[in-house]
Amino acid sequence: MAFEPIVFRGQPAIRLAPPSGGACVVALHGAQLLSWQTPDGVERIYLSPEARFDGSAAIRGGIPVCWPQFNQRGPLQKHGFARNLPWALEADPSAEPAGRVAFTLGASDATRALWPHAFRVRLAVEIEADSLCVTLQVLNTGASPWSFAAALHTYLRVDDIAEARLEGLEGAQRWDAVRDRKLIETDASLAFGDEFDSVYAAPQAPLRLVQPRGTLEISQSASCTETVVWNPGPALSASLADMPDDGYRHMLCVEAARIDENILLAPQAQWEAWQRLTVL
């Protein structure tokens, strides 16, 4: 069997290890991917060693699912409730290919107390020898339309942020959240040091995270019209209770997002988004 139930830092999780090589771990809490190791044994996802796994807060690192709200852009808790609730392993995982597993979350008394809509969301994780693809599907199961925002808040692991560069955003419209200004990105290769928090109009071509040890290609579906890039830098990292003071040195968030304009989903309609990571 390519997948197996495990306990990861006290949380129920699924480990997926297909014959093609590599492995990943997904927690049932939030359907949050926590680890992706390629066949060479390299960990490609950042998970804070001080992340909370007691269910009291979102897990710092991995790939949190931000839904149905992004950040504090609305009345719900930051980044919505999907990342803070238990998801279910899809009823018949054996129907999935060897390298894929899926999780679902449906409306409940707990979600209706926060957000009075009928829905079903599904997160599928698929790995091949040198790639990972995470797909989010949102279905309106009710009789009335509703709107939402979404993001796959991917924490990528880097050896040293001072040596990492992100390529592919030159010419894109950018909102710099740190300085609250709009501009056009002029750098062909982004470097990081102090806090970096920007929302870009998603480019058509994949991005490239370049490090001395190699390059990771990052692509996303056209349904994600924005790309968010975030690194807390030394000052903010030191203030985060669930991240080491130097945690910023080993991570870079590159997020596939639909946040500037909410999706209006009609009854029984479905929306889908994905992000793919490929080792070059």
pTM of the model: 0.96
User: Is pLDDT of 93 > 60?
Assistant: no
Residue whose pair of structure tokens reads 């990771």 in the numeric block: 216
Q: Measured on CA atoms in the order 184, 201, 73, 264, is the torsion positive or negative? A: positive
Three-state secondary structure of 61-106: ECECEECCCCCCCCCCCCCCCHHHCECEECCCHHHCCCCEEEEEEE
Q: What CATH number does residue 215 fall under?
A: 2.70.98.10
Residue 99: what pLDDT? 85
Q: Is 29 a catalytic residue?
A: no
Residue tagged active-site, from 126, 185, 226, 255: 255
At 207-237, the pLDDT tens digits run 999 999 999 999 999 999 999 999 999 999 9
Which residues span the domain enclosing 193?
Answer: 3-279
Check: CB of residue 190 under 8 Å from CB of residue 166: yes
Q: Is 250 a catalytic residue?
A: no
At 62-89, the pLDDT tens digits run 999 999 999 888 788 889 999 999 999 9
- The number of domains in the chain is 1
Residue tagged active-site, from 79, 153, 226, 250: 153
At 162-184, the pLDDT tens digits run 999 999 999 999 999 999 999 99
